[in-house]
Amino acid sequence: MAKRAKIEQLRGQQVSLDDIAHLVGMTPDEVTDLEQTAKVTTLVDETHDRIVDDASEHALAAHLAAQLLDTLDALGKFVLSARFGVGYNGLVHSYEELSSLMGLSVSEVAVIEANALRHLRQEAAPV
Protein backbone atom coordinates (compact mmCIF):
# COMPACT_ATOMS: atom_id res chain seq x y z
CA MET A 1 0.00 0.00 0.00
CA ALA A 2 2.80 2.43 0.81
CA LYS A 3 4.41 1.95 -2.60
CA ARG A 4 1.07 2.61 -4.25
CA ALA A 5 0.76 5.91 -2.38
CA LYS A 6 4.27 6.90 -3.42
CA ILE A 7 3.54 5.97 -7.05
CA GLU A 8 0.33 8.07 -7.00
CA GLN A 9 2.23 10.99 -5.51
CA LEU A 10 4.96 10.77 -8.16
CA ARG A 11 2.41 10.36 -10.98
CA GLY A 12 0.75 13.56 -9.75
CA GLN A 13 4.11 15.29 -10.07
CA GLN A 14 4.41 14.11 -13.69
CA VAL A 15 7.45 11.90 -12.95
CA SER A 16 8.21 9.40 -15.73
CA LEU A 17 7.33 5.73 -15.32
CA ASP A 18 10.99 4.70 -15.46
CA ASP A 19 11.94 7.20 -12.75
CA ILE A 20 9.01 6.09 -10.58
CA ALA A 21 10.03 2.47 -10.96
CA HIS A 22 13.59 3.30 -9.93
CA LEU A 23 12.45 5.34 -6.90
CA VAL A 24 10.18 2.59 -5.55
CA GLY A 25 12.50 -0.31 -6.39
CA MET A 26 10.26 -1.94 -8.96
CA THR A 27 10.26 -2.52 -12.71
CA PRO A 28 8.05 -0.31 -14.89
CA ASP A 29 5.82 -3.34 -15.58
CA GLU A 30 5.44 -3.97 -11.82
CA VAL A 31 4.49 -0.33 -11.28
CA THR A 32 1.85 -0.54 -14.01
CA ASP A 33 0.50 -3.81 -12.57
CA LEU A 34 0.28 -2.30 -9.09
CA GLU A 35 -1.56 0.75 -10.41
CA GLN A 36 -4.11 -1.52 -12.09
CA THR A 37 -4.79 -3.62 -8.97
CA ALA A 38 -7.95 -2.91 -7.01
CA LYS A 39 -7.45 -0.45 -4.15
CA VAL A 40 -8.80 -1.15 -0.67
CA THR A 41 -9.06 1.38 2.17
CA THR A 42 -8.68 -0.11 5.64
CA LEU A 43 -7.71 2.75 7.93
CA VAL A 44 -10.17 2.88 10.84
CA ASP A 45 -10.49 5.74 13.30
CA GLU A 46 -9.96 5.54 17.06
CA THR A 47 -13.54 4.40 17.74
CA HIS A 48 -13.06 1.43 15.39
CA ASP A 49 -16.48 1.85 13.84
CA ARG A 50 -16.03 3.76 10.57
CA ILE A 51 -13.59 4.34 7.73
CA VAL A 52 -11.44 7.44 8.08
CA ASP A 53 -11.76 9.65 5.03
CA ASP A 54 -11.21 13.17 6.34
CA ALA A 55 -7.70 14.67 6.12
CA SER A 56 -7.73 15.85 9.74
CA GLU A 57 -8.72 12.38 10.90
CA HIS A 58 -5.90 10.90 8.82
CA ALA A 59 -3.54 13.27 10.62
CA LEU A 60 -4.93 12.18 13.98
CA ALA A 61 -4.55 8.50 13.04
CA ALA A 62 -0.95 9.15 11.94
CA HIS A 63 -0.26 10.94 15.24
CA LEU A 64 -1.72 8.05 17.26
CA ALA A 65 0.32 5.57 15.22
CA ALA A 66 3.50 7.59 15.89
CA GLN A 67 2.72 7.59 19.62
CA LEU A 68 2.33 3.81 19.54
CA LEU A 69 5.60 3.39 17.65
CA ASP A 70 7.32 5.49 20.32
CA THR A 71 6.45 2.80 22.90
CA LEU A 72 8.78 0.35 21.11
CA ASP A 73 12.48 -0.15 21.66
CA ALA A 74 14.72 1.30 18.93
CA LEU A 75 15.14 -2.02 17.09
CA GLY A 76 11.43 -2.80 17.01
CA LYS A 77 10.58 0.74 15.93
CA PHE A 78 13.18 0.63 13.13
CA VAL A 79 11.99 -2.75 11.80
CA LEU A 80 8.29 -1.83 11.83
CA SER A 81 8.94 1.59 10.35
CA ALA A 82 11.00 0.12 7.51
CA ARG A 83 8.68 -2.85 6.93
CA PHE A 84 5.56 -0.66 6.72
CA GLY A 85 7.11 2.42 5.10
CA VAL A 86 6.66 4.80 8.04
CA GLY A 87 9.10 7.66 7.63
CA TYR A 88 10.70 6.16 4.53
CA ASN A 89 8.78 8.14 1.90
CA GLY A 90 6.24 5.34 1.91
CA LEU A 91 8.73 2.75 0.70
CA VAL A 92 8.28 -0.69 2.21
CA HIS A 93 11.39 -2.76 2.82
CA SER A 94 11.45 -6.55 2.59
CA TYR A 95 12.75 -8.91 5.24
CA GLU A 96 15.68 -9.62 2.93
CA GLU A 97 16.58 -5.94 2.60
CA LEU A 98 16.46 -5.44 6.36
CA SER A 99 18.39 -8.64 6.94
CA SER A 100 21.19 -7.42 4.71
CA LEU A 101 21.13 -3.91 6.18
CA MET A 102 21.12 -5.06 9.80
CA GLY A 103 23.41 -8.07 9.51
CA LEU A 104 20.69 -10.39 10.86
CA SER A 105 19.00 -13.42 9.38
CA VAL A 106 15.62 -13.04 7.72
CA SER A 107 14.04 -15.08 10.52
CA GLU A 108 15.57 -12.79 13.17
CA VAL A 109 14.07 -9.76 11.43
CA ALA A 110 10.69 -11.54 11.28
CA VAL A 111 10.89 -12.32 15.02
CA ILE A 112 11.68 -8.66 15.82
CA GLU A 113 8.71 -7.60 13.71
CA ALA A 114 6.39 -10.15 15.38
CA ASN A 115 7.47 -9.08 18.87
CA ALA A 116 7.02 -5.40 18.04
CA LEU A 117 3.55 -6.02 16.58
CA ARG A 118 2.59 -8.02 19.67
CA HIS A 119 3.73 -5.12 21.84
CA LEU A 120 1.69 -2.64 19.78
CA ARG A 121 -1.43 -4.80 20.04
CA GLN A 122 -1.04 -4.86 23.82
CA GLU A 123 -0.47 -1.09 23.97
CA ALA A 124 -3.48 -0.37 21.74
CA ALA A 125 -5.83 -2.81 23.47
CA PRO A 126 -8.77 -1.14 25.22
CA VAL A 127 -8.41 -1.08 29.00
Give the closest residue to 34 by CA, choosing from 15, 11, 56. 11
Phi, psi torsion values for 51, nearest 5 degrees:
-75, 135
Which carries the bigger pLDDT value, residue 127 or residue 115?
115
Residue 17 has pLDDT above 80, yes or no: yes
Residue 3 has pLDDT above 90, yes or no: no
pTM: 0.54
pLDDT tens-digit profile of 47-79? Answer: 444 554 555 666 777 777 788 888 999 999 999
pLDDT tens-digit profile of 78-118? Answer: 999 888 888 766 788 999 999 999 999 999 999 999 999 99
